[in-house]
Amino acid sequence: MIFVEKPRYRMSIYEQKNEVRVEILGFIRDEIVPDYLEDMNALMEKVPTHSYTMIVDATEQSPLPRKVAAELGQTMMVYTTLGFKKVRVVMPKSKISFVQVRNALATVDFPGEVLNP
């Protein structure tokens, strides 16, 4: 079931699989972040996070500006603090975005699973 569908992201709940999927579509600009966080909090209220897997699907993520890419590792770590049983990240198709995410994850001790698109 699609929980939220906006131009830059989509959030879905799959109750039968005990999964929450967050798809990043393009590039999340600073002005979108408050809505994104509000939607994320609302999503977390709908499921028992401790028994759900969160999948952050960055397949369609666009390359990020240098400043944003520098903070990406810490941003990805936030997902691991939300109380989900597991966190999986699907890497972007774009080669530039792929390298940005790979490099960002290398700067932190990311405990989740990283999947290729």
Residue ranges of the chain with per-residue pLDDT less than 70: none
Among residues 44, 61, 65, the alpha carbon closest in space to that of 8 is found at 61
* Cβ pair 24, 40 in contact under 8 A: no
Token pair recorded at residue 15: 């109750």
Domain housing 22: 2-115
User: How many distinct structural domains can be found in the chain?
Assistant: 1
The predicted structure's pLDDT at residue 72:
85
The predicted structure's pLDDT at residue 29:
77
The predicted structure's pLDDT at residue 74:
86
> Could you write out the DSSP letters of every residue in 45-83?
HHS-GGG-EEEEEEEEEPPPPHHHHHTHHHHHHHHTTS-
Domain containing 29 — which CATH number? Answer: 3.30.750.24
The predicted structure's pLDDT at residue 37:
87
Q: How confident is the model over 21-52, as pLDDT tens digits?
A: 999 998 877 788 889 989 999 999 999 999 99
